[in-house]
Amino acid sequence: MRQIDGKLLLDELGIDHLRDASTLGALSDQTITHLMERGRVYALRKGEKLFEDGGPGDTFFVILKGSFAYYLPVNNRSEYIRDFHFGMEIGFVSMIALTPRPGTAIASSHSYVLEITTDLFYALHVEKPLDFGVLLMNLCRELARRILERQKRNR
């Protein structure tokens, strides 16, 4: 995993591409640019770990391109749980719950992610409260969809 320049990636992918991300949807172009410039952006090759079980949960990531497989430890082995794709967030629950990561995320393909730290999340709340509200709604909507999806599978 290597850090790259968010502004350069924004220029490469384009604002329209990022606006299509479910986590970033309905945010102003200025706020998306702000996040790309102030957040940390990483490139990962297939098979690289984004984070590991037990690691600090003080950030979350938005998948800008690519996908990740998520695994939880079960009986001394890793059990595949689900995939995360373009536009989705990964790690938000740990950040909000103030808990270590419960699982491991591994890139399934060449991927780019935007890391949003607790400091950046708070700064967005202070500096751009309307867009912060939209971002929070997008994050909550994604979590609700995951809960409903799991309930559907368990029927």
Residue range 14-59, pLDDT digits in tens: 999 999 999 999 999 999 999 999 999 999 999 999 999 999 999 9
- What mean pLDDT do residues 120-144 have? 96
Select the more confidently predicted residue: 154 or 111: 111
Task: Please report where in the chains the tokens 């799991």 appear, as a residue.
Answer: 150
Does the structure show a pLDDT above 90 at 3? yes
Does the structure show a pLDDT above 90 at 149? no
- What mean pLDDT do residues 75-102 have? 95
pLDDT of residue 32: 98
pLDDT of residue 154: 81
pLDDT band for position 151 (cuts 50, 70, 90): confident
Say how far apart CA 48 and CA 1 lie, in whole Å: 7
Q: In order of start, what are the domains of the chain with their CATH numbers?
A: 2-117+127-153 (2.60.120.10)
- What mean pLDDT do residues 95-117 have? 97
Q: 3-class secondary structure for 45-79?
A: CCCCEEECCCCCCCEEEEEEECEEEEEEEECCEEE
pLDDT of residue 17: 96
pLDDT of residue 155: 80
Percent of the chain predicted with pLDDT > 70: 100
pLDDT of residue 153: 82
For the beta carbon of residue 20, count every other beta carbon within 10 angstroms.
Answer: 12
CB 45 within 8 A of CB 6: no
Token representation of residue 99: 């808990």
Say how far apart CA 72 and CA 53 lie, in whole Å: 7
